[in-house]
Amino acid sequence: MRSSSRFAAAALAAALFALPSAAQEDAGAEDSPGAYVFHAAGCHGCHTAKDGVALAGGRALETPFGTFFSPNITPDVEHGIGAWSLEDFRRALREGIGPDGTTYYPSFPYDNFTRMSDADIAALYGYLMAQPASGNVPPKHDLSFPFSMRSLLVVWRALYFEEGPRPDAGLDPQLARGRYLADALTHCGACHTPRTMLGGSDDDLYLAGNAQGPEGEKVPNITPDKATGIGDWSEGDLLFLLKAGMMPDGDVVSGSMAEVVRESTRHYTNEDIAALIAWMGAIPAIENKP
Ligand code: HEC
Ligand code: HEC
């Protein structure tokens, strides 16, 4: 991994001051470390059904393996996670294992969340436990055989799951923060990195595009490759996309990326936007057209 970015942080600063972040706009009750992690990690979108109660689950997630329905993660004691201890919660995110020993499917992107710091996990737990409880019971997953067999996840875990935060390995602190945002929190790779036949993230093609993204969407290559990636985007282009959902050609971004902007990146502080953009400029360029 390179330790420098093609983007100079100094140039970005000027543009950043002109754009208020959503975090600054709706500062107040939401402005806690837990709320910040919650937004960045996109928990709300996946765990809230269309027109449903916030975090009460039931959102349908179409995948090549079938349809997942997200669970209720409100603090309802019976139907949500209200009875969970911080340790139960930490284990779900860090290890992908439920309090009753359930092994989770990676449609819950815990292969990303495993990299979250203990402090962020604890802050997120505090935030979630303070949200309104709902007794909603979401539908069961509708998966095709053999993916309907949870026991097979043992194989997936052995092949692909690497538990715990990644060492900074001498990365400059801004790049380390950018990598943390991209990989541990906003899980860009869950959509932008292709998966293998068995649903593992293909790390040799990190962020190089995915022909089979969520809802069958084609997800573009966002490495700095000039021909197939975003190598000709300026840092200002990335800034407008991540803050305002605007593409360089003036169009509004669509599909699940619109949700990522709305739920996650527009809430980033200016420092975090700069860190993520620096990271995007430092990752290897990979030629790949999904
Ligand atoms: C891409 C969609 C997605 C995102 C983003 C997501 N989840 Fe989930 N989550 C799921 C799905 C699907 C499951 C069910 C997995 C299974 O049944 O194995 C799940 C399961 C869970 C569970 C286990 C619940 C139980 O009853 O056992 C918890 C806790 C949880 N998610 C919390 C979170 C938190 C906190 C965040 C944000 C940091 C988050 N999720 C982000 C899709 C998502
Ligand atoms: C839930 C899936 C998902 C996640 C998570 C996600 N993206 Fe995207 N992204 C998409 C899709 C789909 C598109 C294509 C949108 C379109 O064509 O309008 C896209 C488009 C983009 C583009 C425009 C590229 C181009 O050539 O048009 C950039 C840049 C981008 N994403 C960066 C990111 C970054 C950085 C992250 C993490 C902070 C991220 N994305 C997380 C799904 C996702």
Q: Report the chain (290 residues): mean pLDDT per 10 consecutive residues.
A: 67 61 52 94 96 97 91 98 98 98 95 98 98 98 92 91 92 96 97 88 95 89 98 96 95 94 96 97 96
pLDDT of amino acid 166: 94
Ligand 1 site: residues with CB under 6 angstroms?
41-43, 46-47, 61, 68, 70-71, 73, 81, 92, 98, 104-105, 107-109, 113, 124
pLDDT of amino acid 32: 93
Give the ligand at the shortest distance from the Cα of 139.
1
Residue given tokens 């290890």 in the structure block = 95
pLDDT of amino acid 118: 98
Site to probe by mutation for ligand 2, drawn from 46, 177, 186, 192 as the one with most ligand atoms within 8 Å of Cβ, is: 192
Exposure b/e, 186-207, CB count within 10 A at least 16 = b = bbbbbbbbbbeeebbbeeebbb
What pTM did the predictor assign? Answer: 0.94
pLDDT of amino acid 31: 72
pLDDT of amino acid 216: 83
pLDDT of amino acid 17: 59
pLDDT of amino acid 194: 94
Query: Domain coordinates of the chain in residue numbers?
Result: 1-30+172-290, 32-165
Site to probe by mutation for ligand 1, drawn from 38, 39, 44, 47 as the one with most ligand atoms within 8 Å of Cβ, is: 47
pLDDT of amino acid 27: 44
pLDDT of amino acid 23: 54
Structure tokens of 81? 């996670």
CA 166 to each of CA 162, 170, 180, 189, 286: distance values in angstroms, whole numbers, following the listed order: 9, 12, 9, 15, 22
Give the Å distance between the CA of 232 and the centre of ligand 1: 35
